[in-house]
A and B are shown apart, each in its own frame.
Chain A
Amino acid sequence: MTATAARTTTYAWIVLSAITIVSWWLAPGHTRGAAAAASVPITVVVVLLALIKGRIIIRYFMEVRTAPPWLKLFTDVWLTIFWAGVLAIYLY
């Protein structure tokens, strides 16, 4: 039981770290000297990746995966409304 839980936590951590490293490569901070260009596709990907990361932290680290339905619903609604809001303001 504990071994399975430990493995699941580690898998969650690997995915989170991998996404973070991908984000490093997407960031505008590398083009020193030249001005970075705005990019809708990159921003949409960044928002989706952050949404996935947030949900993994909530579900696996905060253990909402095994929490009562109201907590699952609240956190999912928060994640959805928040990131949809960010994207809507960005695209508008």
Chain B
Amino acid sequence: MTNTEETVADVESTHTPGDGHMWVMVLGDLIIFGGYFIIFMVYRAMNPQEFLTSQQHLNINIGVLNTLVLLVSSWFIARSVQAARAGDPASALRLTYLGGLCGVAFILIKAYEWSTEIVAGYTISSNDFFMFYYMLTGVHLFHVSLGVLILGITVRELRNPRRRRVFMVEAGATYWHMVDLLWIVIFALLYVMR
């Protein structure tokens, strides 16, 4: 009996954040990026020493800093969804701006990181590792830019008193957290693993 009650309660309390279209895009992106990362691992397995030596030329401090910047941005965006849900669009708007600002900071830090690598002579044609490094972080950076754009749509939604649809705020947040999730994988595979 208790089981049945619990099941009913579970069904009632489930909620798909955002809308189905955003989840199709996010889950599709996870599969595609999963494929890129697996290809990276196959190339790494064919030449582990070259990859490891190249990894040492990445700046781990910048990698960690950028991870923390994205995590802070995700905190802002998650809180923004909660504020929008609680009927506090002013806070939701402020938190979305802060999250977006962290996104822009990520892009600037990444640009700085690339420039130091290029100045040090590590370019896309240096070896397979750097080819993957620029390709993966580049495709990810495109997603960060798209994420900032999507947060702009969230801002437009929150600023208009006649809109403020919570599912739109949730959909933007879902995309933004995916950007964070993909970075966590890139950080582990390119910067940290041995």
Residues of A whose CB lies within 8 Å of any CB of B are 1-2, 5-6, 9-10, 13, 16-17, 20-21, 23-24, 26-32, 35-39, 42-43, 46-47, 49-50, 53-54, 57-58, 60-63, 66-69, 71, 74-75, 78, 81-82, 85-86, 89-90, 92
Contacts and interface: CB of A to CB of B under 8 A. Distances in A.
B178 to A, nearest CB: 7
B75 A13 contact: yes
Nearest to B175: A62
B53 A35 contact: yes
Contact of B174 (A49, A50, A62): A62
A44 B142 CA distance: 30
Interface residues of B, number: 58
B13 A31 contact: no
Contacts, number: 153
A50 B182 CA distance: 10
A86 B30 CA distance: 15
Nearest to B23: A71
A10 B178 CA distance: 18
A29 B34 contact: no
B185 A54 contact: yes
B74 interface: yes
B17 A62 contact: yes
29 contacts: A2-B85, A5-B82, A6-B79, A9-B79, A16-B71, A27-B55, A27-B192, A36-B55, A38-B49, A46-B193, A50-B187, A50-B188, A53-B184, A54-B181, A54-B185, A57-B74, A57-B177, A57-B184, A58-B177, A58-B181, A61-B77, A62-B173, A63-B81, A63-B170, A68-B14, A86-B37, A86-B41, A89-B41, A89-B44
